[in-house]
Structure 1
Amino acid sequence: MTLLLTNGLVAVGGFDVGIDRVVIGLFSGLTYGLLAVGLVLVYRSSRFVNFAYGSIGAFGAAILALFVGDWGAPYWIGFPAAILVAAALSGAIEVGVVRRLAGRPSLIGMIATLGLSQFILISALLINSDGVSGFTFPQPSYLPSFTMGRMPVGPPYIAMFVLGPLVLLGLARFLRHSRHGLAIRAAADDPDAASLEGIRAPRMASLAWAIAGGIAAFSAILVTPTTSGQSIETLGPDLLLKGLAGAVIARMSSIPIAVGASLGVGVLEQVLLSNPDTRDLVPVVLGLVIVAALLRQPELGRAGQERIGWRRIGPSPLPAAYADVRAIRLTPVVLGASLALVAVSLAYVVSNETASVLTSVTGFALVGLSVGLITGVAGQLSLGQFAYAGIGGAVSVHLATRSDNFVVGVVGGVVAAGLVSALVGIPALRLKGLALAVSTLAFALATSAWVLRLDLFLGDGVSPPKPTWFGYSLELSRDYYLFALLMLALGLWVSANLWRSGFGRSLQALRDNEDAARAFTVPSRRRKLQLYFTAGALAGLGGVVIGHGQSQLTVNSFPASASIDVVALTVVGGLGLVLGPLVGSLLIVGLPSLVALGLPGQAALAVGWLAVVVLLPDGLGGLGIRARDRWYDLLATRAGIDPASARAELEDAPSPLRATARLEGLFEEPPAVGAAGAPQLVVQGLARRFGGVVAVDQVHLEVGRGEILGIIGPNGAGKTTLFEVIAGFTAADAGQVLFEGVDVTRSSPESRAMAGLVRSFQDAALFSTLTVRETVMIAGERVAPSNVLASALGTRLPDRRKAAQADELIERMGLGPFEGRTIAELSTGTRRVVELTCLLALEPRVLLLDEPSAGIAQSESEALGSLLLDIRRELGTTMIVIEHDLPLLARLCDRMVAMNLGRLVASGTPDEVRAHPAVVESYLGSSAAANDRSGPHLSSVPRTGSDTMTLTTPL
Structure 2
Amino acid sequence: MTAAQALALDVAGFDLGIDRLVIGVFTGLTYGLLAVGLVLVYRSSKFVNFAYGSIGAFGASVLGLLVVDWGAPYVLAFPVAIAVAAALAGGIEVGVIRRLAGRPSLIGMIATLGLSQFILIMALLVNSDGVSGFTFPEPPLLPSFTLGSTPVGPSYLAMLLLAPAVLVGLALFLRRSKHGLAIRAAADAAETAELEGIRAPRMASFAWAISGGIAALSAILVTPTTAGQSIDTLGPDLLLKGLAGAVIARMSSIPIAFAASIGIGVLEQVLLSNPDTRGLVPVVLGLVIVVALLRQPSLGRAEADRGGWRRVGAPPIPAAYTRVRSIRLSAVAVVAFSVVLAVALAYVVSNETASVLTSVAGFALVGLSVGLITGVAGQLSLGQFAYAGIAAAVSVHMMEWTGGWVVGVLAGVLAGAVVSALVGIPALRLRGLALAVSTLAFALATTAWVLRLDLFLGDGVAPGKPSWFGYPMELARDYYLFAILMLALGVFVSANLWRSGFGRSLQALRDNEDAARAFTVPRTLRKLQLYAVAGALAGLGGVVIGHGQTQLTVNSFPAAASIDVVALTVVGGLGLVIGPLIGALIIVGIPGAVALGIPGQAALALGWLLVVVLLPDGLGGVGMRLRDRWYDWLAARAGIDPAVARAHPDVTQRSPLHHGADIGGIFAVDEVDRASGPGAAPLLQVHGVGRRFGGVVAVDHVDLVVDPGEIVGVIGPNGAGKTTLFEIVAGFTRPDAGQVVFAGRDVTGASPEQRAVAGLVRSFQDAALFPTLTVRETVMLAGERTRPSRLWVCALGTPVPDRQRAARADELIERMGLAPFADRTISELSTGTRRVVELTCLLALEPRVLLLDEPSAGIAQSECEALGELLLDVRRDLGTAMVVIEHDLPLLSRLSDRMVAMNLGRVIAAGTPDEVRTHPDVVTSYLGSDLAAIERSGPSLTPVAPLPAGSP
TM bin, normalised by shorter chain, reads over 0.9
Alignment of 1:228-247 (within 5 A): 228-247=227-246
SS in 2 for 1:147: strand
Cα 1:651–1:353 shift into 2, 3 Å: farther
Alignment of 1:4-403 (within 5 A): 6=5, 8-299=7-298, 305-403=304-402
Equivalence for 1:589: 588
Given that 1:464 and 1:548 are in contact with CA atoms closer than 8 Å, whether structure 2 keeps it comes out as: yes
Answering whether residue 911 of structure 2 is matched by residue 908 of structure 1, we say: yes
Answering whether residue 933 of structure 2 is matched by residue 930 of structure 1, we say: yes
Given that 2:711 and 2:949 are in contact with CA atoms closer than 8 Å, whether structure 1 keeps it comes out as: no
Equivalence for 2:766: 763
Amino acid aligned to 2:150: M
Cα 1:175–1:591 shift into 2, 3 Å: same
Counterpart-to-counterpart distance in 2, 1:842 and 1:938: 34
Equivalence for 1:953: none
Cα 1:60–1:661 shift into 2, 3 Å: same
Alignment of 1:497-512 (within 5 A): 497-512=496-511
SS in 2 for 1:453: coil
Given that 1:651 and 1:821 are in contact with CA atoms closer than 8 Å, whether structure 2 keeps it comes out as: no
List per-residue Cα deviations over 1:640-688 (Å, max 9, x = no partner): 1111111114787955552121122121343754996221111111111
List per-residue Cα deviations over 1:303-332 (Å, max 9, x = no partner): 953445311111222111111100001111
1:408, distance to aligned residue in structure 2 (A):
0.7
1:184, distance to aligned residue in structure 2 (A):
1.5
Amino acid aligned to 1:51: F
Given that 2:848 and 2:880 are in contact with CA atoms closer than 8 Å, whether structure 1 keeps it comes out as: yes
Counterpart-to-counterpart distance in 1, 2:299 and 2:18: 41
Cα 1:138–1:759 shift into 2, 3 Å: same
1:429, distance to aligned residue in structure 2 (A):
1.2
Cα 1:300–1:855 shift into 2, 3 Å: farther
Answering whether residue 892 of structure 2 is matched by residue 889 of structure 1, we say: yes
List per-residue Cα deviations over 1:46-80 (Å, max 9, x = no partner): 11110000000000000111111112111111111
Q: Identify which of 806, 809, 822 aligns with 2:809.
A: 806
Equivalence for 2:835: 832
Equivalence for 1:667: 667
Amino acid aligned to 2:890: P
Equivalence for 2:753: 750
| Greater displacement, 283-292 / 168-177 | 283-292
Alignment of 1:659-738 (within 5 A): 659-670=659-670, 673=673, 677-738=680-741
Amino acid aligned to 2:236: P
Amino acid aligned to 1:746: G
SS in 1 for 2:714: strand
| Greater displacement, 276-285 / 775-784 | 276-285
Counterpart-to-counterpart distance in 1, 2:929 and 2:152: 76
Equivalence for 1:481: 480
1:197, distance to aligned residue in structure 2 (A):
2.1
SS in 2 for 1:705: coil
Alignment of 1:427-442 (within 5 A): 427-442=426-441
Q: Identify which of 878, 882, 885 aligns with 1:879.
A: 882
Given that 1:869 and 1:944 are in contact with CA atoms closer than 8 Å, whether structure 2 keeps it comes out as: no
Equivalence for 2:568: 569
List per-residue Cα deviations over 1:733-765 (Å, max 9, x = no partner): 111001122110000000000111100000000
TM-score, with structure 1 as normaliser? 0.97
Given that 2:505 and 2:521 are in contact with CA atoms closer than 8 Å, whether structure 1 keeps it comes out as: yes
SS in 1 for 2:910: strand
Counterpart-to-counterpart distance in 1, 2:219 and 2:672: 66
1:182, distance to aligned residue in structure 2 (A):
2.0
SS in 2 for 1:661: coil
| Greater displacement, 64-73 / 740-749 | 64-73
Answering whether residue 822 of structure 2 is matched by residue 819 of structure 1, we say: yes
Cα 1:649–1:680 shift into 2, 3 Å: closer
Alignment of 1:520-535 (within 5 A): 520-535=519-534
Name structure 2 gaps, 5 residues minimum: none
SS in 2 for 1:939: coil
Amino acid aligned to 1:71: W
Counterpart-to-counterpart distance in 1, 2:435 and 2:161: 37
SS in 1 for 2:661: strand
Given that 2:360 and 2:581 are in contact with CA atoms closer than 8 Å, whether structure 1 keeps it comes out as: yes
Alignment of 1:763-802 (within 5 A): 763-802=766-805
List per-residue Cα deviations over 1:782-814 (Å, max 9, x = no partner): 011011111001112322222122111111111
| Greater displacement, 576-585 / 254-263 | 254-263
Cα 1:175–1:436 shift into 2, 3 Å: same
List per-residue Cα deviations over 1:251-308 (Å, max 9, x = no partner): 2222222112111110111112222232232222222222332333225699953445
SS in 1 for 2:297: coil
Identity of aligned residues (%): 76
1:936, distance to aligned residue in structure 2 (A):
4.4
List per-residue Cα deviations over 1:434-479 (Å, max 9, x = no partner): 1111111111001111001111111111111111111100000000
Cα 1:931–1:847 shift into 2, 3 Å: same
| Greater displacement, 588-597 / 668-677 | 668-677
Given that 1:134 and 1:228 are in contact with CA atoms closer than 8 Å, whether structure 2 keeps it comes out as: yes
Equivalence for 1:639: 638
Amino acid aligned to 1:203: R
| Greater displacement, 752-761 / 129-138 | 129-138
| Greater displacement, 877-886 / 656-665 | 656-665
| Greater displacement, 171-180 / 578-587 | 171-180
Counterpart-to-counterpart distance in 2, 1:672 and 1:570: 53
Cα 1:948–1:629 shift into 2, 3 Å: farther
| Greater displacement, 180-189 / 575-584 | 180-189
Equivalence for 1:602: 601
Equivalence for 1:513: 512
1:940, distance to aligned residue in structure 2 (A):
5.8
Amino acid aligned to 1:245: A
List per-residue Cα deviations over 1:192-234 (Å, max 9, x = no partner): 1221222211111111101110000000000000111123222
Counterpart-to-counterpart distance in 2, 1:72 and 1:638: 71
Name structure 1 gaps, 5 residues minimum: 950-955
Given that 2:649 and 2:820 are in contact with CA atoms closer than 8 Å, whether structure 1 keeps it comes out as: no
Q: Identify which of 843, 850, 853 aligns with 1:850.
A: 853
Equivalence for 1:869: 872
List per-residue Cα deviations over 1:388-428 (Å, max 9, x = no partner): 11011111111111011111110111011011101111122
Counterpart-to-counterpart distance in 2, 1:771 and 1:945: 38
TM-score, with structure 2 as normaliser? 0.97
Equivalence for 2:921: 918
SS in 2 for 1:709: strand
Counterpart-to-counterpart distance in 2, 1:358 and 1:556: 19
Cα 1:659–1:90 shift into 2, 3 Å: same
Given that 1:671 and 1:844 are in contact with CA atoms closer than 8 Å, whether structure 2 keeps it comes out as: no
Amino acid aligned to 1:680: L
Amino acid aligned to 2:256: I
